[in-house]
Amino acid sequence: MTRLAIFDCDGTLVDSQHNICAAVEEAFAANALIAPPRSMIRRIVGLSLVEAMRMLLPGSDDALHERIAKDYKDAFFRLRSTGAMAEEPLYDGIADLLARLSAEGWKLGVATGKSDRGLAHILSHHAIAGHFITLQTADRHPSKPHPAMIEAAMRDAGATPGATAMIGDTSFDMEMARAGGVRAIGVSWGYHAAAELSDAGAHHIVDDASALGAVLEQL
């Protein structure tokens, strides 16, 4: 039986909130808008960019949402290319967990609101790209919580919903897992509160990588 673990990226594998918030703030400033507080920005992490801007600016039109999304991409690229980007560390225990799961025969994937380029940079920087056999990003799929990324990952891995888990830190991840018919595992170290993960349908909520590994072994 093929066992597949699909990981969200921001807030689950890596702590990238500082750069995401900085890029949103720059994008808003470029459009003469006051950026929302960072507590609100963190809540949209995981969504595709245009959908995220719709949530931050619900009363604005699609043209503005798309323009700010483009300005966000430009700001993020500038931060990276000029060396102004903050460190985006792996969360404690994640590298060891990925190595162990790979050694035990798990198929691993990523489902993220990041672009292909952004995800490739993160995985390469932390030398973990080799663990993943399927990478699903906002470049090819509707925004979470649509289950398209999970469905594509299962096709790539040859896995069934009953042997697949989606691991993430937001309600969007839990809703996507439920929509895809797979196990929904929430992590408490990210950007949405544990109560929100539970309300969104999480089957399990874990507090560290060791606990995550133990839950996965039950599948």
Any idea which residues carry the catalytic annotation?
Answer: 8, 10
* Class of residue 106 by CB neighbours under 10 A (exposed 0-12, middle 13-18, buried 19+): buried
| Per-residue three-class SS string for 116-156 | HHHHHHHHHHCCCHHHCCEEECCCCCCCCCCCHHHHHHHHH
User: How far lies 195's CA from each of 27, 85, 106, 124, 169, in Å?
Assistant: 31, 31, 29, 33, 11
